[in-house]
């Protein structure tokens, strides 16, 4: 087991994880953030995309231990002032607006 510390959607977490745990599984299974989806097993669909230190990454391609110390934004973290982000509403948005998390 390895201990990691991350900030996800503005909230700090510290958890023990198996070194082989993928970030997407950590977010979904340990933190309960199921808005990050697993849509393929080939790392091509992008359903698992999150922002990690301001950069979009496919969380199925990273180990949770690689995110140690990082600030992560999942789709749950895109809402502002109680208002859903267009992505949460299922609207079509430009990639520019997605790259600017709260």
What is d(CA 87, CA 98) in angstroms, rounded to the nearest whole number? 8
Q: Which of 60, 62, 64, 70 contacts ligand FES by CB under 6 A?
A: 60
Q: Which of 6, 48, 62, 78 contacts ligand FES by CB under 6 A?
A: 48
* CB-count exposure of residue 65 (10 Å: 0-12, 13-18, 19+): middle
Q: Tell me which residue has tokens 């859903």.
A: 84
27 close to 49: Cβ distance less than 8 angstroms: no
Name which of 27 and 60 has its Cβ closer to ligand FES. Answer: 60
Question: Quick check: 79 binds ligand FES (CB under 6 A)?
Answer: no
Least gap, CB of 24 to ligand FES (angstroms): 6
What is d(CA 87, CA 2) in angstroms, rounded to the nearest whole number? 33
H or E element: which one contains 76? none
Q: Specify the stretch interacting with ligand FES by CB under 6 A; choose among 13-21, 34-42, 71-79, 93-101.
A: 34-42
Q: Which of 3, 5, 34, 43 contacts ligand FES by CB under 6 A?
A: 43
Q: How many residues bind ligand FES (CB under 6 A)?
A: 11
> Coil, strand, or helix at residue 101?
coil
Applying CB under 6 A, which residues contact ligand FES?
A: 38-40, 43-48, 58, 60
């Amino acid at each position: 087991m390895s201990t990691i510390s991350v900030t996800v959607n503005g909230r700090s977490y510290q958890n023990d994880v198996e070194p082989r745990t993928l970030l997407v599984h950590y977010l979904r299974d340990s933190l309960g953030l199921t808005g990050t989806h697993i849509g393929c097993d080939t790392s091509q669909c992008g359903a698992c995309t999150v922002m990690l230190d301001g950069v979009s990454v496919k969380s199925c391609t990273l180990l949770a231990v690689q995110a140690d110390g990082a600030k992560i934004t999942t789709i749950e973290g895109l809402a502002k002032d109680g208002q859903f982000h267009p992505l949460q509403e299922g609207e079509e948005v430009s990639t520019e607006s997605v790259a600017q998390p709260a």
